[in-house]
């Protein structure tokens, strides 16, 4: 029985695989770097999200903590803004930035931003496709069934294309969040010790 044979379609898979690895590395390294810098306003990610929602008059979005690293997302179906532990309770610049970005998606939802609705509708199928892609590819490699490998590669490339198409949605969410932050002069970083007069207000637990 063939075992991990070479197939010309590997050439199609490798660029997408390397691109996915690079993107993941960039996100992780950038988040880790800014996790060491405190936001001068002293807000945690959850507090920052709540503040931005309040400023925009959004009262029907719930903020909750979700397990996983960088599993942060906004669910328009339930109007829940879910933040990972490293974001929800942290007052780092990384946490504030991620929370603000996810809040940007809530602003998109409020304004009826059509690309967000399209993205939300496709996400379940895209996630299922990328999970099945690796399973089919490995199964095909082990059994020597080239057709299975081809299907896995097509599903994976479909997810890559989906990610590229939805990039404008992510950029727009960040743009909306930055506009609110700049308008209110929030989110600046500082490494200096704050004086008692500059302490942030207390938030209810």
Identified catalytic residue from 51, 64, 102, 170: 102
Cβ contacts of 178-185, under 8 Å, gap ≥ 24: 178/100, 180/52, 180/55, 180/56, 180/100, 180/103, 180/107, 181/52, 181/100, 184/55
Q: Quote the CA–CA distance of 82 and 63 in Å, as a whole number.
A: 6
* 98-117 burial: b if 16+ Cβ within 10 Å, else e: bbbbbbbbbbbbbeebeebe
Q: What 3 state SS string does 103-158 have?
A: HHHHHHHHCCCHHHHHHHHHHHHHHHHHHHHHHHHHHHHHHCCHHHHHHHHHHHHH
Q: Both ends of the chain: CA-CA distance in Å?
A: 61
102 noted as active-site residue: yes
Active site residues: 102
């Amino acid at each position: 029985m063939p075992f991990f044979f070479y197939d010309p379609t590997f050439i199609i898979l490798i660029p997408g695989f390397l691109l996915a690895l690079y993107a993941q590395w960039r996100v992780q390294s950038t988040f880790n770097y800014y996790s060491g810098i405190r936001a001068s306003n002293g807000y945690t990610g959850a507090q920052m999200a709540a503040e931005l929602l309040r400023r925009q008059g959004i009262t029907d979005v719930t903020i909750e903590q979700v397990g996983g690293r960088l599993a942060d997302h906004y669910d328009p179906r339930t109007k829940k803004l879910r933040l990972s532990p490293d974001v929800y309770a942290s007052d780092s610049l990384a946490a504030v930035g991620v929370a603000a970005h996810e809040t940007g998606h809530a602003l998109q939802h409020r304004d009826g931003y059509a690309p967000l609705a399209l993205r939300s509708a496709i996400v379940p199928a895209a996630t299922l496709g990328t999970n099945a892609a690796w399973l089919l590819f490995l199964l095909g490699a082990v059994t020597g069934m080239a057709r299975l490998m081809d299907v896995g590669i097509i599903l994976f490339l479909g997810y890559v294309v989906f990610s590229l198409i939805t990039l404008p949605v992510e950029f727009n969410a960040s743009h909306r969040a930055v506009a609110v932050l700049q308008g209110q002069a929030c989110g600046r970083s500082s490494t200096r010790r704050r004086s008692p007069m500059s302490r942030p207000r207390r938030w209810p637990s």
